[in-house]
Chains A and B, each alone.
Chain A
């Protein structure tokens, strides 16, 4: 056995038998002494002197024992333990420094971990399926800037059989299923999946079987329609009944047979969804009735398409193969009218890495998350810089201690080692504090993000801390340790020993004040803080401007009640009569002033548009909505000319349209639009303009009010439009929810309960991403100011405390208090000024990245810049004033005497 290994094993054994080993050593040494004593006695040493003689010959037995003990220990481990104990003692001796250090670091780490776990959940974590690296997400390129990820059924079916490079190709669409539950219906998150979905994701079912291509046919497999349920749904609905396979579930009034249960870890290919029921894609006409995404062909872009590469096939090969088939698939589709010639020429399919699956939320949140992550990184860097400069200042105060230790024989590396252990302890404590807070923070952040109404309900973001997150935390801790510890340790252990020991209270400290490094650190801290403050200022100014810009309607007291009419039998005029009855029923509720209906809920990120033209003019893109009578009065959108719709505006009365101002100007430039004709370019139907109304925002708050055309709901081309009632209420709104439910149950018992939201909620949601970013950035900026203030104060306080006697001498020689104050204050003022200038320049460069988040605010907004500099200046002054005041209160006699 190699000697080193032998020694390692023996030492390892010794670790666990410390006491026995100790006893043995003592006994061995004692045995030697006994024999020595006997020998001395034999040699004739008198009994009275034999003990003294023995110990003289033998030497210091305790020391020999200690040396033996050291031999049996791991030197590195022993040093570490000793350093840790010592560092803990040192940290406990300065509780102020320690708690500031741990808190600021905890803050930085907590924020970073929170954002990181969001990024991890949304962007980084691979799908929990075997060989997820073989998965690719398919997209369509049309020569435009943005690729398209939503496929129509014919395109997908054209690609599904592509087997040259793909082992499987599958498509899915997250959907809400209406499942019969006892007497009523409940809405369940589900997913429509194509035949190869489960085969491609390679996760065996817990019970039964999964869906195959056999099931993905109109009418299902020969045995009928089949579904697979999740383990969670199995538990909730079937109480983990082992006989669940073969049972029926009535979905959209049609019986489906449960053929299998998927285990909990299986989530499909979208990491932000947790479907409970997987149904075959071909069952869409049943499940989504009366809509039919399959027969809609190239008019329904509803599928996400993912493929699994054959083993060994590269992404480049896959893309080449897709390029080759693109023309043929495009050619097969029956309706070529939806694409311009230019788009057609550029059109091709492409594949990209899909090991993390596909989530629509990614396209929305990637940029805000990365922006927030860099803000967090800034905070963490700030915390580290702050601790570095604080511990440098502290290192200055500890110079004598360190010099004494060096003089007593400690090597420089051992000293640095110990100082690093000290900062490691701080970093560990800070990271632990941050980690403890992170899950809570990230969960609430995720909730805030996901409440953005651009997404359907049922979107789920897994922010659990996994191995990657912990790895990231460890990385932070190590980086923080080095940042905090190494520089101050190196600085503190250089220099002339005897000088430092001799100089009691440091009457002359010229060398100390000239040091450039601590000032550089502090200045960069100030600069960084200014960047964060400016970022926060810009984001919050933009939010305020966004809010002030208004939506074009009055959200106060406005309530939305969404009715889902898909699964009931009335349609056309009969359905309109039902809506009219519902509207009348609602208008009799207490406090209700107006009631109307709308198809598209403004600011919900949904929309519908088309090309419209005035006769003889070119076609213009107009955003559309279909609304009920009295809509503009209810919304308080001003009616400028003409009239509102009436219940009598049916198809028989001729097609009518109301334009908003910008649509009127676009279609009838310089003319009176009222009474004019508007033609829908695609099918050449003509509408009479009966009114012009004020502009209002459409899809979201950020985009300016687009040209909008309103058509009456009575003339809607859909057979069963699901409309939302808009109700203007004076007084409490919540009783209306119950009233609406009761009304729906009485008038239309087969529809699911209507969904109640206030328009203020919609508005909040429409600005949720902006608000979240503004809130976070303000929070970060406040932290940055606080941390910087502590840093400026702490370093100056240390420095001033050590100059007490110098200041005493100055005062004794005639310097007045104001002068002393100025002298101390100036020290920080120079640093703050340098930092602010550097920060301003950095901010001008860095905030450019923010410009895409800003609404009506330039990144060089002079007001924001000035206010930020002012805020920072105020904090820096306050932090510097305290030590300066304290310096001015020094009593010269006392200060000199204490030397």
Chain B
């Protein structure tokens, strides 16, 4: 209860943005989302399952993602997530915000 609440809060917003980004190129199931983030971040960002699925479901509830059951690459039934129009819009907004924020942090950190 206590442990993952204060760090989770911080990660949650970012994690949601990363999930939206992962789904930008097409529908993926939860495992693939986690893998993509881990690989693309060159193994730096490791997505915990305990945070991943609640985040996916929250995004689905809010209408940013839609979910569909389909067959996976190894022919098992899997739940695929897909960006909705709303989700796409959100991703754009989040990307811009992130770019501004990271640039700002970079300015500060690079100050002599």
Interface set of A (CB-CB < 8 Å, partner B)? 1, 3, 6-7, 10-11, 24, 27-29, 31-32, 34-36, 38, 57-60, 63-64, 67-68, 71-72, 409
Shortest Cβ-Cβ A-B pairs, 9 listed: A6-B63, A3-B62, A7-B61, A35-B31, A28-B79, A32-B31, A71-B57, A59-B50, A31-B78
Complex contacts, B54 vs chain A, CB 8 Å: 64, 67-68, 71
Interface: B1 (CB within 8 A): yes
Complex contacts, A32 vs chain B, CB 8 Å: 30-31, 34, 49, 53
Complex contacts, B50 vs chain A, CB 8 Å: 59-60, 63-64, 67
Interface: B58 (CB within 8 A): yes
Interface: B96 (CB within 8 A): no
Closest to A63 in B: B50
Complex contacts, A67 vs chain B, CB 8 Å: 50, 53-54
> Which residues between 1 and 18 of chain B lie within 8 Å of chain A, taking CB atoms?
1
Q: Specify which of B1, B53, B77 lies most central, judged by the most chain A CB atoms within 10 Å of its CB.
A: B53
> Which residues between 38 and 62 of chain B lie within 8 Å of chain A, taking CB atoms?
48-50, 53-54, 57-58, 60-62
Q: Tally the A-B contacts, defined by beta carbons under 8 Å.
A: 66
Q: With contacts A59-B49, A59-B50 known, is A28 near B30, CB below 8 A?
A: yes
Q: With contacts A31-B29, A31-B31 known, is A64 near B53, CB below 8 A?
A: yes
Complex contacts, A64 vs chain B, CB 8 Å: 49-50, 53-54
Complex contacts, B58 vs chain A, CB 8 Å: 71
Nearest-neighbour CB distance to chain A for B112, whole angstroms, equals 43
User: In the complex the two chains form, what is the Cα distance from A10 to B60 in whole Å?
Assistant: 9
User: In the complex the two chains form, what is the Cα distance from A103 to B21 in whole Å?
Assistant: 63
Complex contacts, A71 vs chain B, CB 8 Å: 54, 57-58, 61
> Which residues between 59 and 94 of chain B lie within 8 Å of chain A, taking CB atoms?
60-64, 69, 72, 74, 76-79
Complex contacts, A3 vs chain B, CB 8 Å: 62-64
Interface set of B (CB-CB < 8 Å, partner A)? 1, 29-31, 34, 48-50, 53-54, 57-58, 60-64, 69, 72, 74, 76-79
Complex contacts, A29 vs chain B, CB 8 Å: 49, 53
Evaluate contact between A68 and B53: CB separation under 8 angstroms. Answer: yes
Q: With contacts A59-B49, A68-B54 known, is A31 near B61, CB below 8 A?
A: no
Seed contacts A27-B77, A67-B50, A67-B53; 15 additional CB < 8 Å A-B pairs:
A3-B62, A6-B63, A7-B62, A7-B63, A29-B53, A31-B72, A32-B31, A32-B34, A35-B74, A36-B31, A59-B48, A64-B50, A68-B54, A71-B54, A72-B57
Complex contacts, B53 vs chain A, CB 8 Å: 28-29, 32, 64, 67-68
Nearest-neighbour CB distance to chain B for A620, whole angstroms, equals 90
Consensus secondary structure, chain A interface = helix
Nearest-neighbour CB distance to chain A for B70, whole angstroms, equals 12
Nearest-neighbour CB distance to chain A for B90, whole angstroms, equals 10
User: In the complex the two chains form, what is the Cα distance from A7 to B61 in whole Å?
Assistant: 5
Q: With contacts A36-B31, A58-B49 known, is A31 near B63, CB below 8 A?
A: no
What are 20 A-B interface contacts by the 8 Å CB criterion?
Answer: A3-B64, A6-B61, A7-B63, A10-B61, A24-B79, A28-B29, A28-B30, A29-B53, A31-B30, A31-B31, A31-B72, A31-B77, A32-B34, A32-B49, A34-B76, A57-B49, A64-B49, A71-B54, A71-B58, A72-B57
Nearest-neighbour CB distance to chain A for B78, whole angstroms, equals 5
Complex contacts, A409 vs chain B, CB 8 Å: 1
Nearest-neighbour CB distance to chain B for A410, whole angstroms, equals 11
Complex contacts, B57 vs chain A, CB 8 Å: 68, 71-72
Complex contacts, B76 vs chain A, CB 8 Å: 31, 34
Nearest-neighbour CB distance to chain A for B38, whole angstroms, equals 11
Complex contacts, B30 vs chain A, CB 8 Å: 28, 31-32
Closest to A59 in B: B50
Complex contacts, B29 vs chain A, CB 8 Å: 28, 31
Closest to A6 in B: B63
Complex contacts, B1 vs chain A, CB 8 Å: 409
Complex contacts, A1 vs chain B, CB 8 Å: 63
User: In the complex the two chains form, what is the Cα distance from A64 to B4 in whole Å?
Assistant: 13
Complex contacts, B74 vs chain A, CB 8 Å: 35, 38
Evaluate contact between B61 and A11: CB separation under 8 angstroms. Answer: yes
Complex contacts, A63 vs chain B, CB 8 Å: 50
User: In the complex the two chains form, what is the Cα distance from A663 to B38 in whole Å?
Assistant: 114
Q: Specify which of A24, A35, A68 lies most central, judged by the most chain B CB atoms within 10 Å of its CB.
A: A35
User: In the complex the two chains form, what is the Cα distance from A723 to B72 in whole Å?
Assistant: 103
User: In the complex the two chains form, what is the Cα distance from A59 to B76 in whole Å?
Assistant: 22
Nearest-neighbour CB distance to chain A for B62, whole angstroms, equals 4
